[in-house]
Structure formats: structure tokens, C-alpha cells
Structure 1
């Protein structure tokens, strides 16, 4: 029997939760919401560990790369990621208020169900503590590997990352639909569920349009450097786009992305380096999604999104999501801590973010890896120019 995918299970969870909240006795809804409460506590506990396990190996692994080429590629990827987030914020802040009524879901009314028991699972450390710890260990391991070739701690951190990925794949992802079901059961009990679903649909369309627009922008900028027709370059990346759409993993799409980049006349030397690295650090599509969803969730809750709050959120997103693309849904998992610590998201708002992000994860990933091709084009143009200058000076 074919395994049901995550998106169908999320849809089943949403509909099942609405059914429980609307039609079944309240005590059944309270049982379901008890699981949601405990699972939410577990998510809060695991978030700092996700941050450390993703960031440390991601930064440490950069020690294997060539210095100038690494700096240029990483700089372009990070600039693209944060630019995508900033553009998404201003588009969202202009468009979303026209399709969503501010305060349509208030905190006061979002408490239709109550957990039967409450269980607190404190995190080992705070989110910012986890970020600083990850930077220190990531940079430290990077230095040790480069200077002394010691790899024991690096291997240990990679094994730690594998453990956290195992937790995500075997616990968080399988039980996520039930968690979402509890959230929507609570909303159904308080009469908010159908409005939220209507909002989700409109925001989803906006996000996909922003993805497409940003892809065109990236290749238009790349064409200024390379002279290649941007739409021809995008056409050559279509196989990678649809592969990512289906796999929801930038890492799993690397072979197809690599072949697509070669079709755009990127040299093998550049593609060998840029494509795998960009699959790890270039997350423009994921950032667009997270920013737009965050704006929508805040407006729904009668809060006014402020750029002063979103700028540090966007800047840190580009770092916390390092190495997350290897895990379907990894970007939103890595962002959970920032949502609560910087944007002040509640447990219910975090649940809404997870549901909306997971529903379009494939589109965000497809935008990520399609943009990797534009990064490769730009980097290859610099590499080719440097080789040409070296030959002329020889």
C-alpha cells in the first residue's frame, strides 16, 4: 500500500480537527487538545537542539571550501536570501491587509478547548543562547578542521544532527498532523476554523506569485552579468524546479539542479562547488514563505507587523536555516525559535505557521533551488573572468 504523503495527512488533520471541534463532544476535543499542548511543549524543548544541530555542522563544513570562492558564493546566497525576505515583507504588508481583516482571530476567542492535563517541558537553553552557542562551536570546529585536521568533534556534531533529524522524521513529522488537528479543533470550537482556511488559501496564492516573481528577478540580474536570456535560463531549470516540488528537499534535488546548471553553460568546476553549497545556504523561497506567513498570522491576531522586528528576524533566518534544506520542513522547524523570541508568536500562532508552511513546502524548495542556478551563473562569470585575466597576465 502506498504511503500517504505529508500534505494529504496535514489536510486530513485539518479537516479531522474541524470535525472534532464542531460535531463531537467537548471532552473528545479536550483529549485531542491535550496532545496538542504536550506536543507544543516538546517543540519548544527541541527547538534549541534543532538550531545547534543544523547550524554547527553547516558552518563547520564550510572549512572544506576554497576561501575566495566560498566567500563570494556565501555572500551572494545570503544577500539573495535576506533580499527575498525584505521584498516579501513589504509586498505582504501592502497586500495581505487587503485580503485579511485585522483581528479576525483574537487571542481571547482562540481558547475553545482546554487540555485535560498540562505538562511543562522546559528547553535546555533559550533560543538566543542556542544561536550564540552554535556560532561559537561552528566557527571553532571550522578553524580546528582547517588548522589541525582534527575531525572528532565535527563527526560528533554530524551524528548529533542525524539524531535530531531522526527525531524530526520519526516523531515530529508523523505526529504533526495530529498536532495541527488539535489546533483546528480548538479553532472550530471557537468558530474560527473556516475563516482561517479562507485566509490560508489567499496567502498561499500570494506566496507562489512572489516565488515566481523573485525567480524572474534573480535571473534578470544574472543576465546583466552574463548576457544570457533570463527566460531561457529559467526554462533550463524547470526539471530541477519540479523535482524539488515533489521531493521538498534541496539536497535531494542536487543532481538535477547540477545538470540544469550545466545546460545554462555553467562550467563543471563552478557547478561542482556552487550547486551543493547553495543547496545548503541559499533559502530565498523559504524566507519568502516564512515572512509572508508571519505577517499574515500577526495580522489575523490583531497585531501590526513592524519592519524593525522583521529585519533581525530575516537576518537571522538566513543563518538558522543553514543545512535545514536536507530535511523536508526543516526551514520552519529551524525558524520556530525566532518566531517566538523575536516576533512573539504564541503556541497557537506557531502551529498555524507550521501548517501553512508545510502546505507549500515544495514550492518554497523549488524557488530555493531554481535560484541556485542564478547564483551559479553569476559566480561562474566571475570565475571565467578571473581565469581570462590570469591567462592574459601569464
Structure 2
């Protein structure tokens, strides 16, 4: 049980809460320095994570037909964007009530504890340029296949995954501990966690409502068909909740979506192609967590233009989600910091909340992807990239 990452994070938060008052400031600064060093290490590795995962995700589509590839990528982006902006709209309405009278000013207290040291990890490429590089690389060699180019990006992906699994992920509790300890010393941690329950309930409500609407539309507003869809996808949702892995849940997602769609070939294309890039739970939940942290910290919510920039980079970053614990949030840290305005302490707090709820995010990602596949199938038939046919017939894909 102690090997479970969420359990380790809970213990770190509890330890920081109870030991902060007895710890010398120099020790707090030391642990905070470790957290900052780990964050800088992650920022050094992340561009390679983004390039390799984004490229391999696009390359996995192979040459299924150029228009089909483009349509899937465009619809994934639009779906993620719609979810992110839904979170923004709900946050504008609900967060002022949820956070009323519970604000702490992290911006004003950020200099009370300073790091004792820093390690100058080089950053060879900014994350936004890594996203653009990965996108161009993936699209180029998807349309013009080259085995060596494909092998190169797969080897890079395996290497950066191994680096993160052997270094950053085992030290993630240390990363969180330093930031949480600093917030507790500055008197902000208690207020933040007191409001967490309401923010999490808001987030879960938004996720459930959005996914239910998705399946209702896919079912043509038929209650009977809706119940059937949800009954079929429930085993996949439960498996995602318990395993916290969309990839491990994919066989059940494939079975459920095939039953709901009645098209085996299209199911076997759309689910594997989008399992790590179309993450509705993340797209709905992470912005709410980030915006709530801003609001609780006494900072204003971004205007529509600023948030639109964040949303664009958010959706690009989701193409590079790493298949590691907390991968959904780790690739977004530069975006949350640069385009949403979260400080290092706020990012540590959001990272902790995300990983503690990883089971909820994974389950909602799995169910959301099944609903997205149903709507994509209807859209593809509408634009004649997929030909309508009986349930058990062989599916034909057209260019």
C-alpha cells in the first residue's frame, strides 16, 4: 500500500502539515530547494517528452487515409477545446461562490521562504517549440512514412519514459513535500485544503454532466439507447477507476465501444489512436483546479483572450501526454505556469490534487473517449469517410 503514489502523496501532505511548526526555517528552505531543483529537471526533460509522445501519437495513425487522419486530429482538438472552455464558463459562474471569503495571497507570501541553492539544468527548447516540432514531425512522417524516422521517435519516447520512471516519479513525493511545506509555513495550506472538497465536487459534477450530455447526443436523445450505452461502458469505467491506466483499460473500452457502435474496424482505429490524446476528464478537470487555485490565491481569473491562448497550448500539450503516473498533469506544467499564471507553489498544489484524484480522471477519460468515438463515427459517415453498413459487416474506410 505504501508503494502507491497517491498514498505517498497523502502521507507527504500530512507530514508537512504536522511538522512545519517544529521545523527550522533552514530545513524548510532546503526541502523547498529540492522541490525547485526537481521542477527545473522536469522542465529540462519535458521538451523531449512532448516531441516524442506527440510525434508517436500522430504516427500511430499511419496511412489510414490522409483525410481520415486530419479529421481525427481536428475533431480531437475541437473536442478538447470545447471541454476546456466549458470548464472556463463554469468556473466564471461557480468559483466566486465556492471560494468566497476563503482567499489566501500566495503571491504576497512567495518570498518568505527562499531556496538555499539551485541547480542550473539547461533548457534546450521551450515547451511551445517542442509542441510545434512534435506536430510537424508526426504529420510529416505520417503522410510520408520513413521507418528510421519512426524508430527514432519511438526510441526517444522509451528513453524519456524510462528517465522519468527512474528519476522524477520516485521523487515526486519529495517534489510535492517541499512546496506543501512552504505553503504550510506561510499559513496558506489549511485554507486551500478546506476549500478542496467543494472544488472537487464542482469538478466531478461538471465531468459527469458533460459526459452524460455527450452520450445523450450520441444516443439521439433516446433514454433506452442511452442506458444501453452506459451499461456497456461501465466495466471499462470501473477498470479505469481501479487501475488508473487508460492503456490498461483499452481492451474493455474497445469491447464496449464496439458493442455501442456496431463497427469493429472503426472502433479498432479510433480508440487506440485517441486513448492518450483525447482526455475529456483532464480537459474538464485540470482547468477547474488551476482556476480555483488562482481564485483562492487572490488572483483574478484570466479574461477570454488570455484563456483562449492557454486553451490552445493546453490542447496541443494533450497530444504529448506521457504514459506515466501523473503524466496528464506533468506535460501541462509549463502551460499552467506560463499561460495561466500559476506559481511554482500553486503548480505543486495542483499536481498533488490531480494525482490524488487520478482514478476519477482516468475513469472519466475512458468513458469520455467511448462517447467521442460514437460521435466521430456518426460524423465520419456524414462526410462519407466511413460507409454506413450493417452491424457485423466489414467496415470500409475511404480516402
- TM (norm. structure 2) is 0.89
Taking a change above 3 Å as real, the CA distance of residues 22 and 231 of structure 1, as seen in their structure-2 partners, is farther
Asked if the contact 1:262/1:268 (under 8 Å) is kept, the reply is yes
What is aligned with 1:17? 16
2:49 aligned with 1:53: no
Q: Which moved more, 1:69-78 or 1:268-277?
A: 69-78
What is aligned with 1:105? 105
The offset of 1:337, in angstroms, is: 1.8
Taking a change above 3 Å as real, the CA distance of residues 225 and 379 of structure 1, as seen in their structure-2 partners, is farther
Structure 1: 5+ residue runs without aligned partners? 390-394
Q: Which moved more, 1:273-282 or 1:113-122?
A: 113-122
Distance in 1, matches of 2:213 and 2:128, equals 33
Taking a change above 3 Å as real, the CA distance of residues 365 and 337 of structure 1, as seen in their structure-2 partners, is same
Asked if the contact 2:247/2:275 (under 8 Å) is kept, the reply is yes
What is aligned with 2:264? 268
2:315 aligned with 1:318: yes
What is aligned with 1:118? 118
Distance in 1, matches of 2:50 and 2:119, equals 23
2:69 aligned with 1:79: no
Taking a change above 3 Å as real, the CA distance of residues 226 and 124 of structure 1, as seen in their structure-2 partners, is farther
For the residue of structure 1 that corresponds to 2:336, the secondary structure is: helix
Q: Which moved more, 1:380-389 or 1:197-206?
A: 380-389
User: What are the within-5 Å matches in structure 2 for residues 121-136 of structure 1?
Assistant: 121-136=121-136
- TM (norm. structure 1) is 0.90
Distance in 2, matches of 1:30 and 1:319, equals 35
What is aligned with 1:154? 150
Instruction: After superposition, give the CA deviation of every residue in 1:189-246 in whole Å (9 maximum; x if it has no partner).
Output: 1111111111222211211111111110110111128996223311221111111112
The offset of 1:3, in angstroms, is: 5.4
Instruction: Tell me which of 356, 361, 364 is aligned to 1:364.
Output: 361
Asked if the contact 2:56/2:138 (under 8 Å) is kept, the reply is yes
The offset of 1:75, in angstroms, is: 3.5
User: What are the within-5 Å matches in structure 2 for residues 225-304 of structure 1?
Assistant: 229-304=225-300
The offset of 1:384, in angstroms, is: 6.7
The offset of 1:59, in angstroms, is: 2.1
Give the structure with the larger helix fraction. Answer: 1
How many residues align? The count is 386
Instruction: After superposition, give the CA deviation of every residue in 1:6-32 in whole Å (9 maximum; x if it has no partner).
Output: 111111111112223222222332222
What is aligned with 1:392? none
Instruction: After superposition, give the CA deviation of every residue in 1:63-114 in whole Å (9 maximum; x if it has no partner).
Output: 3433344444433333222111111111012111212147523322234433
The offset of 1:381, in angstroms, is: 4.0
What is aligned with 1:387? 388
The offset of 1:51, in angstroms, is: 1.7
The offset of 1:320, in angstroms, is: 1.5
Asked if the contact 1:287/1:314 (under 8 Å) is kept, the reply is no
Structure 2: 5+ residue runs without aligned partners? 391-399
